[in-house]
Amino acid sequence: MSMEEKITVRKQKVVKSHTRQKLFFFGGLAIAVLLVAAFAPYLTPYDPYEQDLSKALLPPGNGHLLGTDRYGRDMLSRVIMGSQTTIFSALLLVVIITIVGGAVGIFCGWHGGKLDAFLMRVSDIFLAFPGMVFAIAVASVLSGGVINAVVALACISWPKYARITRSQAMMIKHLPYISAAKLSGSGTWKIVWKHIVPNIAGPVIVTAVLDIGTMIMEIAGLSFLGLGAAPPTAEWGSMMSNGRSMLQTSPWVILSPGCAIFLTVIIFNLAGDTVRDVLDPKQRKR
């Protein structure tokens, strides 16, 4: 082979991933939404509960950015105030089902046996029901109120988490590092708490963040049906329900809370997607 033999050189396109930037962007948006909800009472330009029938059903503009409803209440203030009820009850709901479902799932996956079979059949029953119908039934039995709506939705949502954590726990408990922990003299509690929980947290957190959006919709849905927040309370679902008869004449009354739900759900879903990209074990290894 001679020295002047030509070697072909090719250029390679390098694809960069922007996971980190995406996380900052969508995570930032989600946190901004949460901050708005947390400080809602200080952010409202008007009192969201003050009625002034002379200003009823004003269209957007003229000092009321999103117009007013039929009692003359400022829509923007009500949407901001409503975020508190809707988002925090959704967060509370997600936290409850993550903890309850996660605990049941880890116990079943780790312990196995008859109790596992029993609890899984129970979760099957909940999964077999059409979720919303069951939630409506539970909510009407418990009568209205945000807390009761949360309880009703928790009843139908925990099995999903139990399923996820159970399969993860069953997979992890056979890995050598669990055996190694046992050989290091760690007891069952310590192994579960120190080695199993942190290692299944990733997929559970991703599911939970993705579920915030869904839960906002379901809580708003129950309230829309009159099974959630009681009337004077600013809550997106019940606000939409109040405005539905005026869709043609004063569409802003229903569009304002509707858009708020839409944007919030999209923000939490995109944030959940990026959290998944970050926590994906295949990506983390790189």
What is the rounded CA–CA span in Å between residue 138 and residue 136?
Answer: 6
Q: Which positions from 226 to 265 touch other proteins by CB under 8 A, shown as an x/- string?
A: ----------------------------------------
Which residue in the set 185, 189, 249, 282 belongs to the binding site for other proteins (CB under 8 A)? 185
Minimal distance, residue 119 CB to other proteins, in Å: 23
Residue 182 gets which letter from DSSP?
H
Q: What string of DSSP letters covers 84-106?
A: HHHHHHHHHHHHHHHHHHHHHHH
Minimal distance, residue 283 CB to other proteins, in Å: 12
**Applying CB under 8 A, does 7 fall inside the site for other proteins?**
yes
Contacts of 247 (CB under 8 A, 6+ apart): 254
**Do 110 and 78 meet the contact criterion of CB atoms below 8 Å apart?**
no
Beta bridge partners of 61: 64
What is the rounded CA–CA span in Å between residue 91 and residue 30?
Answer: 12
Which residue in the set 3, 9, 53, 141 belongs to the binding site for other proteins (CB under 8 A)? 9
- Name the 3-class secondary structure at 195: helix
Contacts of 182 (CB under 8 A, 6+ apart): 191
Minimal distance, residue 201 CB to other proteins, in Å: 9
Q: Which positions from 78 to 97 touch other proteins by CB under 8 A, shown as an x/- string?
A: --------------------
Minimal distance, residue 116 CB to other proteins, in Å: 17
Among 264, 216, 213, residue whose Cα is nearest residue 86: 216
Minimal distance, residue 112 CB to other proteins, in Å: 14
Under rule CB under 8 A, how many of the chain's residues touch other proteins?
Answer: 29
CA dihedral 248, 67, 56, 145 (to 10 degrees): 80
Which residue in the set 3, 53, 128, 183 belongs to the binding site for other proteins (CB under 8 A)? 183
**Applying CB under 8 A, does 173 fall inside the site for other proteins?**
no
Minimal distance, residue 203 CB to other proteins, in Å: 13
CA 146 to each of CA 99, 206, 233: distance values in angstroms, whole numbers, following the listed order: 20, 25, 10
Options 26-34, 81-89, 103-111, 175-183: segment touching other proteins (CB under 8 A): 175-183
Q: Which positions from 13 to 32 touch other proteins by CB under 8 A, shown as an x/- string?
A: -xx-----------------
**Applying CB under 8 A, does 184 fall inside the site for other proteins?**
yes
- Name the 3-class secondary structure at 153: helix
Q: Where do contacts with other proteins occur on this chain (CB under 8 A)?
A: 1, 5, 7-12, 14-15, 175-177, 179-187, 190, 194-195, 198-199, 281, 285
